[in-house]
Amino acid sequence: MTRSHQLFGWFILTAYWLPAAFAHSSIWTPAMYGFNVTTQTFPYDNRPVAPLKNMAFDQWWFHNHLDYPPNSGDTFELPAGKVATAEIACNKGATSFFASSDGGDIRNPANPNDPCPGSPSITYHTQGLDDLMGCALGIAYMNDARQVKPEDFTIFSVNQTCVFYRFTDFAVPERMPPCPEGGCTCAFFWIHSPKSGGEENYMNGFKCNVTGSTSTVALAESKVARRCGADPPNNKLQSVPGNCTYGAKQPFYWKNLEQNNMFEGDFSPPVYNDLYNFLEGAQDDIFKDSYISIPDPSPVAPLPVLADIPQSTSSNTTSSGHQDCNHTDTDSEQASTSGQGSNSTTTHIARQAAYRFGLFTSSRNRHFGAH
Protein backbone atom coordinates (compact mmCIF):
# COMPACT_ATOMS: atom_id res chain seq x y z
CA MET A 1 0.00 0.00 0.00
CA THR A 2 1.33 3.40 -0.90
CA ARG A 3 1.37 6.19 1.56
CA SER A 4 -1.41 8.00 -0.25
CA HIS A 5 -3.55 4.87 -0.07
CA GLN A 6 -2.89 4.68 3.63
CA LEU A 7 -3.78 8.31 4.07
CA PHE A 8 -6.92 7.80 2.06
CA GLY A 9 -7.87 4.81 4.20
CA TRP A 10 -7.20 6.74 7.35
CA PHE A 11 -9.26 9.58 6.02
CA ILE A 12 -12.27 7.37 5.28
CA LEU A 13 -12.01 5.78 8.70
CA THR A 14 -11.87 9.10 10.48
CA ALA A 15 -14.76 10.37 8.43
CA TYR A 16 -16.80 7.49 9.73
CA TRP A 17 -15.50 7.05 13.24
CA LEU A 18 -14.10 10.35 14.47
CA PRO A 19 -16.57 12.90 13.25
CA ALA A 20 -16.07 15.21 16.21
CA ALA A 21 -15.09 18.42 14.47
CA PHE A 22 -17.04 18.47 11.25
CA ALA A 23 -19.84 16.07 10.58
CA HIS A 24 -23.56 15.52 10.59
CA SER A 25 -25.82 18.53 10.06
CA SER A 26 -28.50 20.81 11.46
CA ILE A 27 -30.47 23.92 10.71
CA TRP A 28 -28.90 27.12 12.06
CA THR A 29 -30.90 30.15 13.11
CA PRO A 30 -30.75 32.46 16.14
CA ALA A 31 -34.39 31.41 16.67
CA MET A 32 -33.33 27.85 17.48
CA TYR A 33 -33.02 26.09 20.80
CA GLY A 34 -29.36 25.28 21.45
CA PHE A 35 -27.92 27.99 19.18
CA ASN A 36 -24.82 28.37 21.37
CA VAL A 37 -24.49 24.79 22.61
CA THR A 38 -20.93 23.51 22.02
CA THR A 39 -19.13 20.23 22.68
CA GLN A 40 -18.45 21.50 26.20
CA THR A 41 -22.01 22.46 27.20
CA PHE A 42 -23.17 18.94 28.05
CA PRO A 43 -21.21 15.99 29.47
CA TYR A 44 -21.63 14.44 26.01
CA ASP A 45 -21.47 15.91 22.50
CA ASN A 46 -24.86 17.58 22.26
CA ARG A 47 -24.12 20.16 19.58
CA PRO A 48 -27.18 20.81 17.40
CA VAL A 49 -25.57 18.78 14.57
CA ALA A 50 -25.06 15.67 16.72
CA PRO A 51 -27.34 12.79 15.73
CA LEU A 52 -30.01 11.40 18.05
CA LYS A 53 -30.26 7.67 18.63
CA ASN A 54 -30.73 5.22 21.49
CA MET A 55 -31.73 8.08 23.76
CA ALA A 56 -34.39 8.54 26.42
CA PHE A 57 -37.19 10.95 25.54
CA ASP A 58 -35.85 13.99 27.42
CA GLN A 59 -32.49 13.50 25.80
CA TRP A 60 -33.67 13.47 22.18
CA TRP A 61 -36.78 15.66 22.31
CA PHE A 62 -35.81 19.16 21.07
CA HIS A 63 -32.25 17.79 21.20
CA ASN A 64 -32.40 18.30 24.99
CA HIS A 65 -32.05 22.02 24.23
CA LEU A 66 -35.25 23.34 25.83
CA ASP A 67 -33.11 24.98 28.55
CA TYR A 68 -31.19 26.85 25.80
CA PRO A 69 -33.95 28.95 24.22
CA PRO A 70 -33.42 31.69 21.66
CA ASN A 71 -33.16 35.30 22.76
CA SER A 72 -36.54 36.94 23.03
CA GLY A 73 -37.61 38.43 19.72
CA ASP A 74 -35.64 35.92 17.63
CA THR A 75 -38.20 34.20 15.42
CA PHE A 76 -37.91 32.37 12.10
CA GLU A 77 -40.51 33.86 9.76
CA LEU A 78 -42.70 31.70 7.57
CA PRO A 79 -44.32 33.82 4.86
CA ALA A 80 -47.54 32.10 3.80
CA GLY A 81 -47.44 31.15 0.13
CA LYS A 82 -43.80 32.09 -0.24
CA VAL A 83 -40.40 30.62 0.46
CA ALA A 84 -38.47 30.64 3.73
CA THR A 85 -34.73 30.14 3.27
CA ALA A 86 -32.96 28.28 6.04
CA GLU A 87 -29.27 27.68 6.56
CA ILE A 88 -28.22 24.07 7.00
CA ALA A 89 -24.63 23.18 7.79
CA CYS A 90 -22.40 20.72 9.61
CA ASN A 91 -20.86 23.51 11.67
CA LYS A 92 -22.09 26.92 12.80
CA GLY A 93 -18.88 28.42 11.40
CA ALA A 94 -20.12 27.56 7.91
CA THR A 95 -23.20 29.77 8.34
CA SER A 96 -23.99 33.48 8.56
CA PHE A 97 -23.80 33.01 12.34
CA PHE A 98 -20.08 32.11 12.39
CA ALA A 99 -19.34 35.00 14.76
CA SER A 100 -20.62 32.98 17.72
CA SER A 101 -18.92 29.77 16.59
CA ASP A 102 -15.87 28.41 18.45
CA GLY A 103 -13.84 27.99 15.29
CA GLY A 104 -14.82 31.26 13.61
CA ASP A 105 -15.65 31.68 9.95
CA ILE A 106 -15.10 28.50 7.92
CA ARG A 107 -17.42 29.40 5.04
CA ASN A 108 -16.22 28.37 1.61
CA PRO A 109 -15.52 31.55 -0.38
CA ALA A 110 -15.59 29.57 -3.62
CA ASN A 111 -19.02 28.12 -2.86
CA PRO A 112 -21.28 29.98 -0.41
CA ASN A 113 -23.76 27.08 -0.66
CA ASP A 114 -21.22 24.55 0.71
CA PRO A 115 -22.86 23.04 3.84
CA CYS A 116 -19.61 21.56 5.14
CA PRO A 117 -16.46 23.27 3.85
CA GLY A 118 -13.38 21.10 3.69
CA SER A 119 -15.26 17.85 4.26
CA PRO A 120 -16.53 15.28 1.79
CA SER A 121 -20.29 14.82 1.62
CA ILE A 122 -20.10 11.49 3.45
CA THR A 123 -19.56 13.48 6.66
CA TYR A 124 -23.07 14.84 6.24
CA HIS A 125 -24.32 11.43 5.28
CA THR A 126 -24.73 11.44 1.55
CA GLN A 127 -22.82 9.75 -1.24
CA GLY A 128 -23.85 12.58 -3.55
CA LEU A 129 -26.77 14.15 -5.37
CA ASP A 130 -28.47 10.83 -6.11
CA ASP A 131 -28.35 9.79 -2.47
CA LEU A 132 -30.37 12.62 -0.88
CA MET A 133 -33.34 11.70 1.26
CA GLY A 134 -34.94 15.02 2.09
CA CYS A 135 -35.64 16.93 5.26
CA ALA A 136 -38.70 18.69 6.59
CA LEU A 137 -40.00 21.46 8.80
CA GLY A 138 -42.74 20.77 11.31
CA ILE A 139 -44.96 23.24 13.13
CA ALA A 140 -47.04 23.19 16.29
CA TYR A 141 -49.51 26.03 16.79
CA MET A 142 -48.32 26.54 20.37
CA ASN A 143 -46.19 29.38 21.69
CA ASP A 144 -44.67 27.38 24.54
CA ALA A 145 -42.25 24.74 23.31
CA ARG A 146 -42.40 22.97 26.67
CA GLN A 147 -46.08 22.21 26.12
CA VAL A 148 -45.50 20.65 22.69
CA LYS A 149 -45.88 16.88 22.45
CA PRO A 150 -44.57 14.74 19.57
CA GLU A 151 -48.00 14.34 17.98
CA ASP A 152 -48.53 18.14 18.01
CA PHE A 153 -46.10 18.65 15.12
CA THR A 154 -47.28 18.65 11.51
CA ILE A 155 -44.83 18.62 8.61
CA PHE A 156 -45.66 21.66 6.48
CA SER A 157 -42.69 21.83 4.12
CA VAL A 158 -40.34 19.30 2.57
CA ASN A 159 -37.11 19.79 0.67
CA GLN A 160 -36.00 16.56 -0.91
CA THR A 161 -32.49 17.79 -1.78
CA CYS A 162 -31.56 18.23 1.86
CA VAL A 163 -28.86 18.44 3.22
CA PHE A 164 -26.83 19.30 0.17
CA TYR A 165 -27.10 23.07 0.10
CA ARG A 166 -26.34 25.49 2.91
CA PHE A 167 -29.17 27.79 1.77
CA THR A 168 -32.18 25.53 1.57
CA ASP A 169 -35.56 26.85 0.51
CA PHE A 170 -38.73 25.70 2.21
CA ALA A 171 -42.01 26.51 0.48
CA VAL A 172 -44.65 27.60 2.99
CA PRO A 173 -48.25 26.56 2.22
CA GLU A 174 -50.35 29.51 1.16
CA ARG A 175 -53.17 28.65 3.57
CA MET A 176 -51.10 28.57 6.78
CA PRO A 177 -53.20 30.32 9.44
CA PRO A 178 -51.71 32.90 11.83
CA CYS A 179 -49.87 31.69 14.93
CA PRO A 180 -51.12 32.38 18.44
CA GLU A 181 -49.76 35.38 20.30
CA GLY A 182 -46.06 34.79 20.92
CA GLY A 183 -45.72 32.75 17.75
CA CYS A 184 -45.52 29.04 16.95
CA THR A 185 -43.04 26.29 17.69
CA CYS A 186 -41.22 24.66 14.77
CA ALA A 187 -38.60 21.98 14.27
CA PHE A 188 -36.24 20.74 11.59
CA PHE A 189 -36.30 16.99 10.93
CA TRP A 190 -33.95 14.87 8.85
CA ILE A 191 -33.13 11.21 8.40
CA HIS A 192 -30.36 10.34 5.95
CA SER A 193 -29.82 7.62 3.40
CA PRO A 194 -29.05 4.12 4.66
CA LYS A 195 -26.03 4.08 2.32
CA SER A 196 -24.31 6.89 4.16
CA GLY A 197 -23.66 6.06 7.77
CA GLY A 198 -25.37 4.64 10.82
CA GLU A 199 -29.08 5.00 11.30
CA GLU A 200 -30.09 8.02 13.34
CA ASN A 201 -32.56 10.85 13.74
CA TYR A 202 -32.16 14.60 13.65
CA MET A 203 -34.38 17.19 15.34
CA ASN A 204 -33.76 20.86 16.11
CA GLY A 205 -36.51 23.07 17.53
CA PHE A 206 -36.92 26.77 16.86
CA LYS A 207 -39.38 29.60 17.36
CA CYS A 208 -41.31 30.46 14.24
CA ASN A 209 -44.16 32.68 13.13
CA VAL A 210 -46.45 32.64 10.11
CA THR A 211 -46.74 36.00 8.36
CA GLY A 212 -49.06 37.14 5.59
CA SER A 213 -51.80 34.64 6.40
CA THR A 214 -54.91 34.75 4.24
CA SER A 215 -56.71 31.82 5.88
CA THR A 216 -57.76 31.02 9.42
CA VAL A 217 -58.59 27.34 8.88
CA ALA A 218 -56.60 25.28 11.38
CA LEU A 219 -54.34 22.37 10.56
CA ALA A 220 -55.85 18.90 10.73
CA GLU A 221 -54.73 16.45 13.41
CA SER A 222 -51.49 14.94 12.16
CA LYS A 223 -51.14 11.23 11.51
CA VAL A 224 -48.20 8.87 11.27
CA ALA A 225 -46.93 8.65 7.67
CA ARG A 226 -47.01 5.27 5.92
CA ARG A 227 -44.51 3.79 3.50
CA CYS A 228 -46.40 3.74 0.22
CA GLY A 229 -44.10 4.83 -2.62
CA ALA A 230 -42.11 2.67 -4.98
CA ASP A 231 -39.16 1.18 -3.11
CA PRO A 232 -36.90 -0.62 -5.61
CA PRO A 233 -34.08 -1.35 -3.09
CA ASN A 234 -36.66 -3.38 -1.16
CA ASN A 235 -38.06 -5.01 -4.33
CA LYS A 236 -41.25 -2.92 -4.36
CA LEU A 237 -41.41 -1.61 -7.90
CA GLN A 238 -44.80 0.13 -7.85
CA SER A 239 -46.21 2.77 -5.55
CA VAL A 240 -49.34 1.81 -3.61
CA PRO A 241 -51.36 5.06 -3.41
CA GLY A 242 -54.18 3.61 -1.28
CA ASN A 243 -51.58 2.81 1.38
CA CYS A 244 -50.42 6.42 1.75
CA THR A 245 -51.23 8.72 4.62
CA TYR A 246 -52.89 11.84 3.17
CA GLY A 247 -53.22 15.24 4.77
CA ALA A 248 -51.42 16.36 7.94
CA LYS A 249 -48.58 14.04 8.87
CA GLN A 250 -46.34 13.82 11.93
CA PRO A 251 -42.54 13.92 11.80
CA PHE A 252 -40.70 10.62 12.03
CA TYR A 253 -39.54 9.66 15.50
CA TRP A 254 -37.17 6.77 14.97
CA LYS A 255 -34.29 4.88 16.59
CA ASN A 256 -34.59 6.28 20.10
CA LEU A 257 -35.48 4.41 23.26
CA GLU A 258 -38.79 6.15 23.95
CA GLN A 259 -41.73 7.61 22.06
CA ASN A 260 -40.77 6.40 18.61
CA ASN A 261 -43.57 6.41 16.04
CA MET A 262 -41.57 4.58 13.36
CA PHE A 263 -40.18 1.09 13.67
CA GLU A 264 -38.53 0.55 10.29
CA GLY A 265 -35.35 -1.49 10.15
CA ASP A 266 -31.82 -0.17 9.77
CA PHE A 267 -31.76 -0.45 5.99
CA SER A 268 -35.19 0.99 5.25
CA PRO A 269 -35.26 4.25 7.22
CA PRO A 270 -38.33 6.46 7.05
CA VAL A 271 -37.46 9.42 4.81
CA TYR A 272 -39.00 12.77 3.86
CA ASN A 273 -39.79 12.09 0.23
CA ASP A 274 -42.38 10.42 -2.01
CA LEU A 275 -41.76 7.08 -0.34
CA TYR A 276 -43.88 8.34 2.58
CA ASN A 277 -46.04 10.73 0.53
CA PHE A 278 -43.93 13.70 1.64
CA LEU A 279 -43.93 15.40 -1.75
CA GLU A 280 -41.44 18.14 -2.55
CA GLY A 281 -42.32 21.62 -1.36
CA ALA A 282 -45.29 23.07 0.50
CA GLN A 283 -47.62 20.49 2.04
CA ASP A 284 -50.82 22.13 0.80
CA ASP A 285 -53.27 19.47 2.01
CA ILE A 286 -52.70 19.67 5.78
CA PHE A 287 -55.74 21.73 6.75
CA LYS A 288 -58.98 20.70 8.43
CA ASP A 289 -60.95 21.38 5.27
CA SER A 290 -58.45 19.98 2.75
CA TYR A 291 -60.34 16.72 2.23
CA ILE A 292 -63.96 15.69 2.09
CA SER A 293 -63.00 12.19 3.12
CA ILE A 294 -59.85 10.25 3.85
CA PRO A 295 -60.42 6.49 3.98
CA ASP A 296 -58.26 4.47 6.37
CA PRO A 297 -55.17 3.73 4.32
CA SER A 298 -54.38 0.21 3.20
CA PRO A 299 -53.00 -1.31 0.00
CA VAL A 300 -56.59 -1.75 -1.23
CA ALA A 301 -58.18 1.43 0.17
CA PRO A 302 -59.94 3.88 -2.15
CA LEU A 303 -58.24 7.24 -2.61
CA PRO A 304 -59.31 10.22 -0.52
CA VAL A 305 -61.57 12.94 -1.87
CA LEU A 306 -60.06 16.41 -1.92
CA ALA A 307 -62.17 19.46 -1.22
CA ASP A 308 -62.32 22.04 -3.96
CA ILE A 309 -60.98 25.20 -2.36
CA PRO A 310 -60.69 28.40 -4.36
CA GLN A 311 -57.29 30.00 -4.20
CA SER A 312 -57.06 33.45 -2.73
CA THR A 313 -55.98 36.10 -5.17
CA SER A 314 -54.19 38.21 -2.62
CA SER A 315 -51.04 36.15 -2.47
CA ASN A 316 -48.95 34.26 -4.97
CA THR A 317 -48.13 30.58 -4.91
CA THR A 318 -44.75 31.11 -6.45
CA SER A 319 -43.32 29.04 -3.69
CA SER A 320 -42.78 25.46 -4.63
CA GLY A 321 -42.41 25.65 -8.35
CA HIS A 322 -44.24 22.35 -8.41
CA GLN A 323 -47.72 23.65 -8.80
CA ASP A 324 -47.45 24.00 -12.54
CA CYS A 325 -50.48 21.86 -13.13
CA ASN A 326 -52.15 21.85 -16.46
CA HIS A 327 -55.53 23.48 -16.48
CA THR A 328 -56.47 22.77 -20.02
CA ASP A 329 -57.42 19.13 -19.89
CA THR A 330 -58.59 18.59 -16.37
CA ASP A 331 -62.33 18.45 -16.26
CA SER A 332 -62.65 14.88 -17.36
CA GLU A 333 -60.02 13.83 -14.87
CA GLN A 334 -61.68 15.01 -11.70
CA ALA A 335 -63.08 11.68 -10.76
CA SER A 336 -61.81 11.72 -7.22
CA THR A 337 -62.19 15.38 -6.33
CA SER A 338 -65.48 16.73 -5.19
CA GLY A 339 -65.83 19.74 -7.43
CA GLN A 340 -68.12 19.05 -10.27
CA GLY A 341 -68.16 22.69 -11.34
CA SER A 342 -64.46 22.84 -11.97
CA ASN A 343 -63.84 26.09 -13.71
CA SER A 344 -61.16 26.42 -16.28
CA THR A 345 -60.86 30.11 -15.52
CA THR A 346 -60.47 29.61 -11.80
CA THR A 347 -57.39 28.28 -10.09
CA HIS A 348 -58.21 25.72 -7.45
CA ILE A 349 -55.75 24.81 -4.78
CA ALA A 350 -57.39 21.43 -4.49
CA ARG A 351 -56.82 20.79 -8.14
CA GLN A 352 -53.18 21.73 -7.82
CA ALA A 353 -52.84 19.51 -4.79
CA ALA A 354 -54.65 16.71 -6.56
CA TYR A 355 -52.12 16.79 -9.34
CA ARG A 356 -49.24 16.80 -6.96
CA PHE A 357 -50.73 14.12 -4.77
CA GLY A 358 -51.73 11.97 -7.70
CA LEU A 359 -55.41 11.98 -6.87
CA PHE A 360 -56.80 12.25 -10.37
CA THR A 361 -57.75 8.78 -11.44
CA SER A 362 -56.15 9.08 -14.84
CA SER A 363 -52.90 10.38 -13.45
CA ARG A 364 -52.92 8.35 -10.27
CA ASN A 365 -49.64 6.69 -10.93
CA ARG A 366 -47.83 9.62 -12.38
CA HIS A 367 -46.79 11.33 -9.22
CA PHE A 368 -45.91 8.48 -6.96
CA GLY A 369 -42.66 6.80 -6.31
CA ALA A 370 -39.38 8.26 -5.26
CA HIS A 371 -37.50 9.29 -8.32
Ligand X SMILES: *[C@@H]1O[C@H](CO)[C@@H](O)[C@H](O)[C@H]1NC(C)=O
Site for ligand X in 103-142 (CB under 6 A): none
- For ligand X, the binding residue among 117, 183, 194, 247 (CB under 6 A) is 183
Min dist. Cβ of residue 326 to ligand X (A): 4
- Asked whether position 307 contacts ligand X by CB under 6 A, the answer is no
Total residues belonging to the chain: 371
Please give the residues from 268 up to 297 whose contact with ligand X meets the rule CB under 6 A: 280-281
- Judged by CB under 6 A, does residue 238 bind ligand X? no
Alpha-carbon radius of gyration of the chain: 21
What one-character-per-residue DSSP string does 227-286 give?
A: --S-BGGGTB-S--GGGS--SSBPPP--SSSSS-S----TTS---SSGGGT--SEE-TT-
Among 54, 111, 293, 343, binds ligand X (CB under 6 A): 343
Distance CA 255, CA 263 (A): 8
For position 240 contacting ligand X by CB under 6 A, the verdict is: yes
Name the residue nearer to ligand X (CB basis): 75 or 91: 75
Torsion angle defined by CA atoms of residues 227, 228, 229 and 231, in that order, rounded to the nearest 10 degrees: 60
Asked if 228 touches ligand X (CB under 6 A), the answer is: yes
Rounded to whole angstroms, the Cα distance separating 1 from 107 reads 35
d(CA 31, CA 73): 8
Q: Decide whether 201 or 334 has the Cβ nearer to ligand X.
A: 334
**Residue 227: closest CA among 195, 252, 197, 210:** 252
- Per rule CB under 6 A, is residue 243 in the interface with ligand X? yes
With beta carbons less than 8 A apart as the criterion, state whether 22 and 90 touch: yes
Give the total of residues touching ligand X (CB under 6 A): 38
Query: Is the Cβ of residue 197 or residue 369 nearer to ligand X in the bound state?
Result: 369
Output the residue with the shortest Cβ distance to ligand X.
Answer: 341
CB of 86 to ligand X, least distance (A): 9
Is 179 strand, coil or helix? coil
Q: Which stretch binds ligand X (CB under 6 A): 14-22, 57-65, 130-138, 224-232?
A: 224-232
Residue 60: which residues within 8 A CB-CB, separation 6 or more?
52, 201, 203, 256
Binding site for ligand X (CB under 6 A): 35-36, 70-71, 75, 83, 100, 159, 161, 165, 167-169, 171, 179, 182-183, 209, 211, 226-228, 240, 243, 280-281, 299, 315-316, 320, 324, 326, 328-329, 341, 343, 345-346
